[in-house]
Amino acid sequence: MSLRELPSVDRLLSHEQGQELVARYGHELTLQALRESLQAARQSVRQGAEPPGSQALLQQAAEAIEGLLAPTLRPVINATGVILHTNLGRAPLSRAAQEAMLAAARGYSTLEYDLARGRRGKRQVHAENLLRRLTGAEAAMVVNNNAAAVLLALTALARRKEVVISRSQLIEIGGGFRVPDVMRQSGAKLVEVGTTNRTHLRDYEAALGPRTALILRAHHSNFRIIGFTTEPGLEQMAALGKAHGVPLVDDLGSGTLLDTSAYGLGHEPMVQESLRAGADLVAFSGDKLLGGPQAGILVGRAELVRRLRKHPLARAVRPDKLCLAALSATLVHYLKGEAEREIPIWRMIAAPETRLRARADAWQRHLGRGRVIRSRSTVGGGSLPEETLPTWLLALESPHPNALLRRLRRATPAVIARIEKDQVVLDPRTVLDWQEEGLLAALHAALG
């Protein structure tokens, strides 16, 4: 076998199929792919393989280019029943939020321009007034996620000073984000009080001193401590802070503007409640229970927010125009009292069992197989730990359930399901109405 039998790069480029690749993908990308295909072919020939022809080499190059250019961030159908699925992008956006992002993206915008005055403006104005009206806060600002919100607050308000926090709140959330690590990164000194299961107001009071800059409460948003436990209420902590001139920062994590207990879930602390209880600054996420884009939101006393805005770190963690557009549109839903109808995660949370059963039954009839069973959906996203909602699932028997899951993941769009009691199950709660056609097509193909 001779390497001389392999065609040259120039010959492949001049081939009709090669010219088609150049027209589709450009000269440089095609040239690189052809060189890589030839290099692989040379190695195979040296190992005794037959030299591939021009057509095979060109096909390999085309497949390599397509693989390189194929997006890795792809839409999927979430049939897991986990509403805020962190791995699947958490909260899907409302139609109004999508349209607002597109409007901001397709051309120029007033991101930092004041139309009335005809001069430079400030990007924080786009969401601040909405947040103030919704929460009752004196001031508000937006950063790119809640971890950044906490980091900015600690850096701007407590660098080289002490922050008092209960040991029970030294939490870790997804992705290895740990409150103690963020505090150290901010330059603040961590002062732990109480024990893992019990912290009293007197523990906080004993820790306060001339170098205390903040009292920090980190909400147990992704776990619970039960049994012999106690923690002082937020009102008590706020009163203690005010008596000693120490601001109280409440890191809610998820953060909600609606009462989750009204939907059959446990009560998640609301942003408005934290402010009414006396928290000086409240931090929460935009893409969890708020149902908007990834963002970190800070609301509270105007003097503290002003200090945050002036800190150099604020520029590094500021939100972009797409975030602000989607967030503002999401907040408008709350102001208009239409969150449950227009924001997808609240529509999912509020979905009645009868509607879920009807959808699962319709899927079963369409496929002509499987059975509909009762189960539970979860909120997810580090919100409302152990809280579930009743639902109905389409359950599919399969001798190899993991193989069926793999086939569903290879569909376009990919379908993400789960296994329960050795069956592949699909929860209609998290499948958007307009995705049903794609879901059923994927199921037909995967089931053969």
- Distance between CA 359 and CA 414 in Å, rounded? 20
Domain final position from 35, 69, 103: 69
Q: For position 120, what pLDDT does the model report?
A: 95
**Within this chain, do residues 101 and 193 fall inside the same structural domain, yes or no?**
yes
**Within this chain, do residues 48 and 148 fall inside the same structural domain, yes or no?**
no
CATH number at residue 181: 3.40.640.10
Q: Identify the domain containing residue 338 by its residue range.
A: 93-342
Claim: this prediction has a pTM higher than 0.75: yes
Confidence check: pLDDT of 319 > 80: yes
Are the CB atoms for 392 and 353 separated by under 8 Å? yes
Helix, strand, coil tally for the chain in percent (to 5)? 50, 20, 30
Q: What is the pLDDT of residues 261-275, one digit of tens each?
A: 999 999 999 999 999
CATH number at residue 356: 3.90.1150.110
Structural domain tally of the chain? 3
Domain final position from 342, 367, 387: 342
Partner residues linked to 420 by β-bridges: 423
**Within this chain, do residues 115 and 254 fall inside the same structural domain, yes or no?**
yes
- Distance between CA 276 and CA 235 in Å, rounded? 9
Q: What is the pLDDT of residues 10-55, one digit of tens each?
A: 999 999 999 999 999 999 999 999 999 999 999 998 888 888 999 9
383: Cβ–Cβ under 8 A, 6 or more apart, which residues?
Answer: 84, 221, 222, 253, 254, 268, 288, 289
Mean pLDDT, rounded, for 302-330: 97
Q: What is the pLDDT of residues 183-234, one digit of tens each?
A: 778 888 888 888 777 888 898 888 899 999 999 998 875 555 655 567 888 9
**Within this chain, do residues 139 and 284 fall inside the same structural domain, yes or no?**
yes
**Within this chain, do residues 324 and 368 fall inside the same structural domain, yes or no?**
no
- Distance between CA 203 and CA 206 in Å, rounded? 5
Domain final position from 277, 308, 342: 342
Strands (E) across 75-211 are located at 76-78, 82-84, 113-114, 119-120, 139-143, 162-166, 172-173, 177-178, 189-193
